[in-house]
Structure 1
Amino acid sequence: MPNIDIRRPHSLSGTDAHTVIDHVATRMREKFQVETQWKSDGTLGFERPGISGKIAIGADEIHVSAQLGMLLSPLKGMIEQEIRRKLDEHFS
């Protein structure tokens, strides 16, 4: 299965970064019917048929990792581009 691994530096406080990721998660649920859940380790897990992953908030970076199923494999480039665009929009 193809993997997505994107890291983006940020200079927000942990609380502000968490708020931004909450906003992004809301959009993910609305646009892509993705289920999201905050984990005890502070990462946001997301899942729907064909994709699962997490968003981790570090002190100075956001780390998005995901695994794509066979049906979404051909869309890996487009999915990565959309993730990068959203991260740039919120963390640049």
Structure 2
Amino acid sequence: MADIHIEREHTLGLPAARKLAWKWAEQAEEEFDMSCTYEEGAREDAVEFTRSGVSGCLQVTANRFVLDAKLGFLLGAFKERIEAEIVSNLDTLLAGKKPAAKKTATRKKIS
């Protein structure tokens, strides 16, 4: 299995970072046919994502995004391309550009 690890620091604070993470989850569902579950916490949120051959989590804090994903055998061959696409999408969101997305991710509150 191939692993992807991406970290991005930011100065958004948790409420604004939460909005960006929500947009990222919507994009992942729409563009990559992912199933995403968004869990809000007091100090940290988590976006769990999965589809055939891919699973992972985007952790969201007041000053950092950390994405960890595991690629199955078949998608492992495309690790660099997949990682580049994830980085591009996350960096685009952090740069303040507004991608088109629809709300389909499941949101639940955790304590």
TM-score class, shorter-chain normalisation, is over 0.9
2:12 is aligned to: 12
Contact 1:9 1:91 in 2 (8 A): no
1:51 is aligned to: 54
In structure 1, the gaps of 5 or more residues are none
Aligned with residue 87 of structure 1, among 83, 90, 96: 90
Q: 1:25 to 1:40 in 2, by over 3 A?
A: closer
Match of 1:72, SS state, is helix
CA distance in 2, matches of 1:27, 1:74: 23
TM-score normalized by structure 1?
A: 0.92
In structure 2, the gaps of 5 or more residues are 96-111
The number of aligned residues is 92
The one-letter amino acid paired with 1:47 is T
Match of 2:79, SS state, is helix
2:71 is aligned to: 68
Match of 1:43, SS state, is strand
Q: CA deviation at 1:84?
A: 1.0
Q: CA deviation at 1:40?
A: 6.0
The one-letter amino acid paired with 1:53 is G
Contact 1:8 1:91 in 2 (8 A): no
